[in-house]
Structure 1
Amino acid sequence: MVKKLQEDMLKLGVCYYPEHWPEELWEEDFKRMKELGFTYVRVGEFAWTIFEPEEGTFSFDLFDRAVAKAHEYGLKVFMGTPTATPPAWLTHKYPEVLNVSQDGISYQHGARRHYNYNSETYKRLSSIIVTEMAKHYKDNPAIAGWQIDNELNCEIDAFYSEADHTAFREWAKKKYKTLDKLNQTWGTVFWNQTYTSWDQVYLTRKTVPNSPNPHHMLDEKRFISDSAISFAKLQADILRLHAPNQWVTTNGMFKHLDNHKMTNELLDFYAYDSYPNFGRVIEDDSEKPLRDRKWSWNLSIVRSISPNFAIFEQQSGPGGWVTRLEQPSPKPGQLRLWTYQSIAHGADIVMYFRWRTATKGTEIYWHGINDYHNLPNRRVNEVEQVSKEIHQIGEKVAGSSYKAEVALVTSYDNEWDGEFDKWVGPYAAKSNDLWIKAFQYNHVPADAVYLRNETTIDELKKYKALVYPHAAIVTKQQADLFREYVNQGGKIIFGCRSGYKDETGQTYMKAFPGYLADLVGVTVEEFTRVAPYEEIPRINFKGENELEANDFNEVLHPQYDVDVISTYTNTHFEGKPALVKRTHGAGTSYYFGGVFNLKLASLLIDELQLNNYKDQFDLPEKIELAIRSKVGNDYVFLLNYADTTQKIVVKRKMRDAITGNIISNKVTMQPFDVLVLEED
């Protein structure tokens, strides 16, 4: 069952920390929040010591007063469980709760997320504080719901405490039952790694050379995910028991965590923290970098977890800690643009981080809507503008579904395996980025699909095309699913290094691409990684466009009737197939024996006829097109990521849903401008 947020209006809110501010500021703060049109305020996620100043002693006075004051102004509260930052009394008395590096060094109190999920002591103390909070606030009319912890696996996504090693051993026992099965799955016969007693089984540890068993590593990531989900379940079960009428969710989206499983099993919907400003400052020398626009894809992944979701932290100002990367201030219009970016991709609640910039601590440079001094500023004005605008479109758009005919496919197994496997992981990352750019710059709305054991043909059939660039791990079950998808009329694209591994990360003793061979109609005759000092292989596309085939090359050998779309035009592969197409049932499969580039991805978009909106709009590359649909009504979001004006053409009359004005023919969009269009 897919979990999603269900709101009847688009709603705004803000993160607030009453414990940071003198109480005399609260009333004015909440009053101004209400005047800005906010509905929600998020509190409490770092306040364990406020709630439990010493072990077994609980105090709710401060937050009771803050929640009551928020309620007085008609605001609803999301309460965070405070387990992301254990109190000093806890870590001092119970040092076994601390996380430990792979080198065996304990992380100490003084920052955040320094605990481990598997400490029985930490789980016991966490369950106590969550229980006390749930019982206290279960009937409070101001509390809309709960956020479990904060950003699970943020800051650190690997855990090596003694409790983690012990829990991993039990996890492995439960999964494999016997050491023979574990040894077989991990391939421990290689380099004489065979285990003869369960006491010998640990999480990965430093090796010489530092290259742990890759199949062990893959299971380690699965274990970390299961540990985080188990910790979240501990809290979710308590909240469901004591506060059954309040929402339960969590926020983030970080590595080594199966957010789909966690949401489906535990949550009412998923929440994300969106910081597109990172995209402006992270070094990126790739072709046509997306910058802040890259966050549209992050939001697409969130949408694959919850089709309608909440943003619990929306970037509202320049960002940075005292210890790390500082970000520039959003330019005029960017705060508004980023809000609509979230809404366009499925957010029905957007809460800004934060109300006012902290005056103390590590995040004194992570700015909120208001500056330290609380005086008027441009960011507040932009939020006020957005608030007024979404009152015009909020009822229309809330609950609508993002509309896409193509999906980029991945799986947690392939992502986690690819972190360690340098023969496929970097290729997948590169091709994914280039396909995302191709979709964005060709104005093709796209979804993310995470392939799971539970994935059905009906989930895939809604897409005209699927792109799975480098599907190293492909099981027979998955290959059969793809075959049925194509038989029923779907189109699917694979790239090199596909289908050669099983779910353990071991390779099949099959011709590449394994169980996909009959679907794509070829096997791999030979392959090579492109050396940096050698001539770059090139391919043609339908005998016309010549493209570089960087990074990796497979020479394809047709086994069935296929159309050879591209051949190599130089090197010792000259004349050999590089890209093929095969009709299978009512659909089509494509296999490219290389790593995708932007030009090839764009040509394949044309080949598959995915850019269906060319008959409605002429749009420059700087404009993103996104569509949300509801009861047959489409709402077209046009987002300008450029700091210059952009000329667009709307080929038929449409109505601006924000202003009510009729839009047609040539239109000039201002820097960082947004249009939301509907049929006239």
Structure 2
Amino acid sequence: MIIVDKSIPGEAFQLGVCYYPEQWPEQMWDDDYKRMRDIGFSIVRMGEFAWNFFEPEEGVFAFDLFDRAINLAYQHGLKVILGTPTATPPAWMTHKYPEILNVTSDGVQYQHGMRRHYNYSSPVYRNYCAKITEAMAVHYADHPGVVGWQIDNELNCEVNVFYSEADHAAFRAWLKEKYGSLDVLNQAWGTVFWNQSYSDWGQVHLPRTTPSNSANPHQTLDEKRFISDNTISFARLQAEILRKLAPQQWVTTNGMFGHLDNHAMTDELLDFFSHDSYPNFATLWNDAGRENPLMDRISSNQLAKVRSVSPNFCIMEQQSGPGGWVNKIAQSSPKPGQMRLWTYQSVAHGADMLLYFRWRTATFGTEIYWHGINDYHNQPNRRVAEAADISRELAKIGVAIAGSRYVSEVAILQDYDNEWDGEFDLWHGPLTKESLYSWAKSLQFNHIPYDYLYLKDTSALDDLIQYKVLIYPHPAIMSEETAELLKQYVAGGGKLLFGARTGYKDKRGHCRMSPFPGPVADLCGVTVEDFTLIVNEKSTPNIRWTDGGNEAGTPADLFNDILRPANEKVETLAVFDGDYYAGKPALTRNPYGSGEAYYYGAAFSREVADALIVRLGIKPALQDWAELPPEVEVAIREKQNRRFAFLLNYSDHPVQARLLRGTEDMLEGVRLAAGELNLPPYGVKVLELE
């Protein structure tokens, strides 16, 4: 469910940079701030790794260094976002209280020397976090230069599992509240299997090392739920202090990492959500071996997830140079224009505040290769010049686009239970990963904007009916309540697509003793009469379209549900074209009320998604305005009947689009006539659709 009031306040775009005054000689600050203002920056973030400067020894607080840094920034017209420094506990603390450190599942304790090496459950650590947050809030609550707070830094980054003694104890307390008794817990976890039943709460732990490195799957699902709730509890400790003591300053946190329900955290604690965007990571971890890889434009898919938390969000860290640590991660430098492209990628997807990471590359420490706008030498370079160009452009259009909302008629449904369960369950997790990527690629290359919509217990029909098409690839866990909500959506005229392995588990992760796809069987109008995992590409059958489509040789990837229509109204759109189930239905369409439900008995591929887009009648966002090449992504933002189209060329060569009618080029401030429109390598256009 989109919470419309969890967005950035303000009527103008804010552009800024992350700054670390504690890392630089004080005589450099004035020149740094002056040059920030010359570029056009208006906001800086600082303090998130500086606990030793705020509390150099236990119980002794010192604010002199940051007072001078913040006062000087304010004198230069810069607003300040302060980070609570709890991502890096000081050495005096970890030395005196080693129980605050995190522990691996094998029982090995992490040591001081990095960041995020603590656990959320330690009462000692929580006490110190509360004290430092309170001291900072009291000191800076009325400072006119401090506009907001970032809680911690990148919760669950680096490590998102926790096994200290305090975590095991907190897990037991969480389970007692959730289940009430060991009898109910044993039933939920199915502990009668392999004689795992518990007779005393002291026997219950988070998953630990076992033979074959396996664990109880229901225990591991609850582990992820607990970690999320525990992380939110840790953030709540700080948020409540900031709300009480600094009520005039907003509160956010940054990053989108695993085992954390960012939607619940934002709904309950934050004014808006912030994200850290590093598109160059895609060059390391993406699908460079595939045909037409998304590469850095896959970050648009992540930004769509961010937008599902806050429609208008902050990019607290936007990549401005190559990234890298001394001992791992090594990225190539962004090409000329890519920094600008990535900035507009974030803006196109809903960012109304953006800060580059970082002002100047560090000359010491683990991140001496995580480059900022300025190089070590502090002399002019192309990234500084590019930042200044971006700043001038955003100053020109910022008031117009601030507060505008991304527009889409298509949404991909997700939920945290299936996301977390799929990490451990190889019978549906890999399918979801493949299908999400395939749909992202297909929708992007077909110039169709899309949202992510996370389903939760509070989701309502109003959240769904704003979309004409919903795609829910592989919801193995499906509650009766969610099934009923989806039926209401389709009955009202919506189109809904499922993939293989839908609906066979309940909320506990138990497999239902009913035909697949469980509680949505009547919605889909099919029964899964047989199924098989596809163990290698050579054994993957193709599908054959039965409705006259000429898409030949389309593989039915990863897993096959062999379908049996339950009534004569169900239309078979494609059949399997291989193996023992050749000729059996692979893709069906069932009319339900005023809408349609589709079931595809495999993981979605790019080819299948492309074919379904045609059959669903989904049109490109600019079909009446422009013809675009596949290298270009399109995003639409809308406010008060004004519509803005962002055109982003991700390729290293110029491309040509065709305008079908005249429009305003907002960045150039000129009128464009119908006809050819050239976008240079990594080029950007922002057009107003009149």
- Tell me which interval the TM-score lies in, with the shorter structure as reference length: over 0.9
Equivalent in 365, 388, 396 of residue 369 of structure 2: 365
Indicate conservation of the 8 Å contact 2:551/2:611, yes or no: no
Give the superposition deviation at 1:392.
1.3
Match of 1:552 in 2: 559
- Secondary structure class of the residue paired with 1:203: coil
Match of 1:678 in 2: 688
Taking only the aligned residue pairs, the percentage that are identical comes to: 55
CA displacement, residues 378-423 of structure 1 (integer Å, 9 cap, x when unaligned): 0011110010001111111000000000001110000000000001
- Secondary structure class of the residue paired with 1:652: coil
Match of 1:598 in 2: 606
Q: Distance in 1 between matches of 2:647 and 2:382?
A: 23
Q: Give the 5 Å matches for 1:535-574.
A: 535-541=539-545, 542-543=547-548, 544-546=550-552, 547-560=554-567, 561-574=569-582
Give the superposition deviation at 1:445.
0.1
Q: Give the 5 Å matches for 1:319-334.
A: 319-334=323-338
- Secondary structure class of the residue paired with 1:336: helix
2:652 paired with 1:643: yes
Amino acid of the structure 1 residue aligned with 2:470: L
Indicate conservation of the 8 Å contact 2:443/2:449, yes or no: yes
2:571 paired with 1:582: no
Match of 2:496 in 1: 492
Equivalent in 468, 471, 480 of residue 467 of structure 1: 471
Amino acid of the structure 2 residue aligned with 1:240: R
Q: Distance in 1 between matches of 2:501 and 2:165?
A: 37
Give the superposition deviation at 1:441.
0.5
Match of 1:402 in 2: 406
Q: Distance in 1 between matches of 2:648 and 2:535?
A: 40
Distance 1:361 1:534, change over 3 A: closer
Give the superposition deviation at 1:310.
0.4
- Secondary structure class of the residue paired with 1:572: coil
Indicate conservation of the 8 Å contact 2:645/2:689, yes or no: no
Give the superposition deviation at 1:554.
1.3
Match of 1:666 in 2: 676
Give the superposition deviation at 1:534.
5.0
Equivalent in 46, 51, 72 of residue 48 of structure 1: 51
CA displacement, residues 598-632 of structure 1 (integer Å, 9 cap, x when unaligned): 01101111111212432322111110000000011
Equivalent in 198, 206, 209 of residue 206 of structure 1: 209
Give the superposition deviation at 1:282.
2.5
TM (norm. structure 2) is: 0.98
2:162 paired with 1:152: no
Q: Give the 5 Å matches for 1:415-494.
A: 415-494=419-498
CA displacement, residues 448-494 of structure 1 (integer Å, 9 cap, x when unaligned): 01110111100100000000111111111001000000011100000
Give the superposition deviation at 1:567.
1.0
When the two chains are superposed, the root-mean-square deviation of aligned CA atoms in Å is 1.0
Amino acid of the structure 2 residue aligned with 1:169: R
Q: Distance in 2 between matches of 1:398 and 1:598?
A: 34
Amino acid of the structure 2 residue aligned with 1:545: E
Q: Distance in 2 between matches of 1:535 and 1:36?
A: 58
Equivalent in 114, 118, 121 of residue 115 of structure 1: 118
Give the superposition deviation at 1:532.
2.3
Q: Distance in 2 between matches of 1:287 and 1:479?
A: 36
Match of 1:315 in 2: 319
Distance 1:533 1:562, change over 3 A: closer
Q: Distance in 2 between matches of 1:614 and 1:510?
A: 45
- Secondary structure class of the residue paired with 2:572: strand
Amino acid of the structure 2 residue aligned with 1:674: V
Match of 2:642 in 1: 633
Amino acid of the structure 1 residue aligned with 2:687: L
Match of 1:519 in 2: 523
Give the superposition deviation at 1:288.
2.2
Equivalent in 9, 13, 17 of residue 6 of structure 1: 9
Match of 1:384 in 2: 388
2:268 paired with 1:265: yes
CA displacement, residues 517-574 of structure 1 (integer Å, 9 cap, x when unaligned): 0001001010111232754311112243221112211110111220110012222212
- Secondary structure class of the residue paired with 1:501: coil
Match of 1:256 in 2: 259
Q: Distance in 2 between matches of 1:50 and 1:660?
A: 47
Match of 2:346 in 1: 342
Match of 1:67 in 2: 70
Q: Distance in 2 between matches of 1:412 and 1:529?
A: 24
CA displacement, residues 301-359 of structure 1 (integer Å, 9 cap, x when unaligned): 00000000000000000110001011111101000000000000000001000000000
Q: Distance in 2 between matches of 1:439 and 1:10?
A: 28
Equivalent in 289, 294, 300 of residue 304 of structure 2: 300
Q: Distance in 2 between matches of 1:624 and 1:401?
A: 17
- Secondary structure class of the residue paired with 1:427: helix
Q: Give the 5 Å matches for 1:224-239.
A: 224-239=227-242
- Secondary structure class of the residue paired with 2:213: coil
- Secondary structure class of the residue paired with 2:662: strand
Q: Distance in 1 between matches of 2:489 and 2:627?
A: 32
Indicate conservation of the 8 Å contact 2:472/2:496, yes or no: yes
Q: Count matched residues.
A: 680
Amino acid of the structure 2 residue aligned with 1:585: G
Amino acid of the structure 1 residue aligned with 2:405: S
Give the superposition deviation at 1:643.
0.3
Runs of 5+ in structure 1 lacking a partner?
none
Runs (4+) of structure 1 exceeding 6 A deviation are none
Amino acid of the structure 1 residue aligned with 2:557: N
Match of 2:22 in 1: 19
Match of 1:83 in 2: 86
Q: Give the 5 Å matches for 1:598-617.
A: 598-612=606-620, 613-617=622-626
Amino acid of the structure 2 residue aligned with 1:417: D
Give the superposition deviation at 1:4.
1.1
Equivalent in 635, 652, 660 of residue 661 of structure 2: 652
2:641 paired with 1:622: no
Q: Distance in 2 between matches of 1:286 and 1:204?
A: 36
Amino acid of the structure 1 residue aligned with 2:566: Q
Q: Distance in 1 between matches of 2:664 and 2:286?
A: 39
CA displacement, residues 73-118 of structure 1 (integer Å, 9 cap, x when unaligned): 1100000000000000000000010000000000000000000000
Indicate conservation of the 8 Å contact 2:337/2:683, yes or no: yes
Match of 2:535 in 1: 531
Q: Distance in 2 between matches of 1:71 and 1:533?
A: 60
- Secondary structure class of the residue paired with 1:324: coil
- Secondary structure class of the residue paired with 1:92: helix
Q: Distance in 2 between matches of 1:528 and 1:335?
A: 45
Match of 1:220 in 2: 223
Q: Distance in 2 between matches of 1:394 and 1:125?
A: 40
TM (norm. structure 1) is: 0.99
